[in-house]
Structure 1
């Protein structure tokens, strides 16, 4: 893939408007080469799961359930597929690569392995790609703004081959949805982002023994790719609606969502297939940082389910970011100080600011039981969502060397005048005294 001079220091900014199919079509057309490259990469043997198994899950489980529970998302994916000249199933695969990576373990190794639900684990560990997410409420910042920020650590390929886009979405007014700004792999509906109403979401990979491989041959419950939940959260008009979407969303893998709103509230949701664990910041701190292991005490106290994080930088990245920002969190924190804190290099190259490792230590630890092979990982972007100002400050690649660029998000600033979905008879919210 050729990268022009303008793209050298910034990812492509893709702006789409209109109804779901139309904006998906525009997304696919504008980022066609990147979408096709991402599809071909994840379809390679060993990148996710065995190809026939993946497409069986996509065709028989994901597509019907997305159509039933998130029809606008499916229409948008159809548009992306047509615009990029790939199949709908290919686009669903891109949006489900987090979930499908959990199946990437040889069948003979996983045979007979059951999780806490009794489901067979075809792939016990996903590739250990990681992230550091955070929010800072107005009491912490020098400007009095609310920030939701993240180092997104993923395969360095995304950075080095320019496979990420900044996706700006302006829905048709008839949909009654806010405008969105998302940082994502080309072809996906979103990885992290914010909306014009001031809601932001960043995320972290989590792995628990409740995770399982869905199997259409049994009476499985409805499941969808969990990355779609991030997009659905950002289409909500207020934080209460977002929390309801998180609780009700049908999933089969774990994930952490770090949510904040310009109104002045934030929390982390540690999600497993069966439960949502609520992680709150200290009232006097007004900020929270999360990495890739479970932290909520009620999860950690259970003896029937446990964290499958294999060990590594997650155990210190949270503390290192906190060390970098804590001196400024009583109303002194600036964007520049936050970027400096995100650029920490303890345990380089596998650090808070992560760089590709040309000589990984897998040669030492690769034979240990339960160790997941890890490819070349990097911080593919650092992004700071200013929820108060509706601005996005972000760079391409690790923050220590990135050229930061700031975008402004337009669109409705409140939900007054939004058309509300009409509930049918018997579907109204119950009156509870």
Structure 2
């Protein structure tokens, strides 16, 4: 097992100041991420730098309308990193650029398995939530743990690609978030609220209902899945398309999700992932079955074992590169994250958890 820690960047102050501190401390990684995505979009979406930045500029009013502080933080990131505002907006809209423009067209989508366990199924009565984040291997080494102290809002710890405002994480109110990609026939590329901004909206929330509202209130152009849990034991999964929201609740205290629609499947939606990434139909059910076999005895170690599972390798819960695909279209587990929402602790591996140790992360800001 390798012992690799992710860079931890702590920020505080008002929104712009937080962004500047993020941008200045992660300057090199942010510039690398911008260069990588510009290359990717040029090759696979036929969008040169000028077109990408023109399209990114159109997202600014949508982000501003959703939450002006998120937009101010993005401005600060750009200034701190010495890059253009549009480049950082493009990073924060990369889900929209990727999933609406190139993922299905080039025959490669999917990734990420999320799990949550309620107190009645765990060994100590705690609420646990976690996921494997499966994404492009080129992003390995370009991610950080962002530790955020906010004026007037909950403190947050989130795993992000450097230069972005949120992804999976938890806050000081006991709210935890995991995210999965979904793709439907309703998706389109349009300047609506970016999925990563919605992630930040969820983690900015002081209550579970506010977190749900952060999803439902957002104008959306693409589909996605949000698994949200609270330390007091409540868990809900939200499947979204641009037009609808589906709801899933735990069964016997366990809720799992991967990259296909479950609740929304009966509403006339065409699922674009299952034909090109059929392993999604295995991963969530596999995770549920593995956890169910330990009902009432589930703990952090049980989640680790589940997230290390290699059934259907390489397209398994713990995902590895598939030699049938070009390097730009590869998927790999880049991080595995488990959160105890009662202790406010995080266990995270930097890379596939079968090869990399989980590091324990405790920060006073979310305690």
Using structure 2 for the length normalisation, give the TM-score: 0.93
Partner residue in 2 for 1:79: 76
Aligned alpha-carbon RMSD (Å) = 2.1
Pick which of 194-203 and 7-16 moved more: 7-16
Partner residue in 2 for 1:354: 319
Determine whether 1:405 maps to 2:350: no
Matches within 5 A, 1:157-196: 157-159=138-140, 162-172=141-151, 176-196=152-172
C-alpha deviation, 1:242, in angstroms: 1.3
Partner residue in 2 for 1:240: 209
Q: 2 CA distance for matches of 1:377 and 1:408? A: 29
C-alpha deviation, 1:301, in angstroms: 2.4
Partner residue in 2 for 1:63: 60
C-alpha deviation, 1:95, in angstroms: 0.7
Q: 1 CA distance for matches of 2:8 and 2:139? A: 15
Cα 1:43/1:89, change in 2 over 3 Å:
same
Which consecutive residues of structure 2, in runs of 5 or more, have no partner in the other structure?
none
C-alpha deviation, 1:311, in angstroms: 3.0
C-alpha deviation, 1:274, in angstroms: 0.7
Q: 2 CA distance for matches of 1:275 and 1:126? A: 25
Partner residue in 1 for 2:345: 391
Partner residue in 2 for 1:20: 15
Partner residue in 2 for 1:378: 332
Partner residue in 1 for 2:112: 131
Q: 2 CA distance for matches of 1:38 and 1:8? A: 24
Matches within 5 A, 1:303-318: 303=268, 305-309=269-273, 310-318=276-284
Partner residue in 1 for 2:121: 140
C-alpha deviation, 1:391, in angstroms: 0.7
Kindly provide the CA deviation profile for residues 164-189 of structure 1, in whole angstroms up to 9, marking residues without a partner as x. 101110012xxx20100001100000
Cα 1:395/1:81, change in 2 over 3 Å:
same
Given that 1:179 and 1:409 are in contact with CA atoms closer than 8 Å, whether structure 2 keeps it comes out as: no
Cα 1:25/1:342, change in 2 over 3 Å:
same
Q: 1 CA distance for matches of 2:366 and 2:25? A: 25
Partner residue in 2 for 1:321: 287
The DSSP-based 3-state class of the residue aligned with 2:247 is: strand
C-alpha deviation, 1:324, in angstroms: 2.0
Q: 1 CA distance for matches of 2:334 and 2:348? A: 10
Partner residue in 1 for 2:309: 344
The DSSP-based 3-state class of the residue aligned with 2:55 is: helix
Given that 2:100 and 2:222 are in contact with CA atoms closer than 8 Å, whether structure 1 keeps it comes out as: no
Partner residue in 2 for 1:422: none
Kindly provide the CA deviation profile for residues 229-277 of structure 1, in whole angstroms up to 9, marking residues without a partner as x. 0111110110111112211101100000000001110011000001111
Using structure 1 for the length normalisation, give the TM-score: 0.79
Q: 2 CA distance for matches of 1:197 and 1:180? A: 9
Q: 1 CA distance for matches of 2:37 and 2:338? A: 28
Please identify which structure carries the higher helix content. 2
Cα 1:125/1:230, change in 2 over 3 Å:
farther
- Structure showing greater radius of gyration is 1
C-alpha deviation, 1:320, in angstroms: 1.8
C-alpha deviation, 1:48, in angstroms: 5.4
Kindly provide the CA deviation profile for residues 44-102 of structure 1, in whole angstroms up to 9, marking residues without a partner as x. 1225561344323221x211221232110111111111111111111111111110113
Matches within 5 A, 1:198-277: 198-214=174-190, 223-277=192-246
Cα 1:8/1:139, change in 2 over 3 Å:
closer
Given that 1:102 and 1:126 are in contact with CA atoms closer than 8 Å, whether structure 2 keeps it comes out as: no
Q: 1 CA distance for matches of 2:352 and 2:132? A: 8
C-alpha deviation, 1:341, in angstroms: 1.2
C-alpha deviation, 1:289, in angstroms: 0.2
